Homo-oligomer: A and B are copies of this chain.
Amino acid sequence: MEPGDSTKQARAATQLRKGVLEYCVLALMRDRPRYGVELLHALEDSGALATSQGTVYPLLSRLRRDDLVTTTWQESTSGPPRRYYALTDSGRAALDEFTRVWPGFRNAVDTFLTTPHPSTGDLA
């Protein structure tokens, strides 16, 4: 990528991902266990949340450390064995919690960005 044009945009997008990536990964595991590279590709396909292995694997380690996911090894027909990550009850609860919080947060940001903040009309 060329440095210079996308710097500000990359910076904004980078900071945006903080804290959201965790729950998007949990959401991907909602209906089926997933393995690392699979999650990575799903995030890439989304465009706005594309990231790297150096981000995903430490994240998965944290999720496992906090008992939000459990892992099982599974053989692959084309390559080394894969570690599949599945939601625990705590993980599902955390995802539900986030699903409740997210709309309020999203709407708050939308309001700040789209609502004019008139200098007139204030009661002073």
Residues of A at the B interface (CB closer than 8 Å) are 8-9, 12-20, 22-24, 27-28, 30-32, 46-49, 93-94, 97-102, 104-113, 116-119
CB pair B8–A94 under 8 Å, yes or no, is yes
CB pair B12–A101 under 8 Å, yes or no, is yes
Do most interface residues of chain A lie in helix, strand or loop, or is the interface mixed? helix
Chain B residues with CB below 8 A from A22, complex form:
15
Chain B residues with CB below 8 A from A118, complex form:
31-32
When chains A and B are docked, how far (Å) is the Cα of A113 from the Cα of B49?
A: 13
When chains A and B are docked, how far (Å) is the Cα of A12 from the Cα of B103?
A: 12
Chain B residues with CB below 8 A from A31, complex form:
116-119
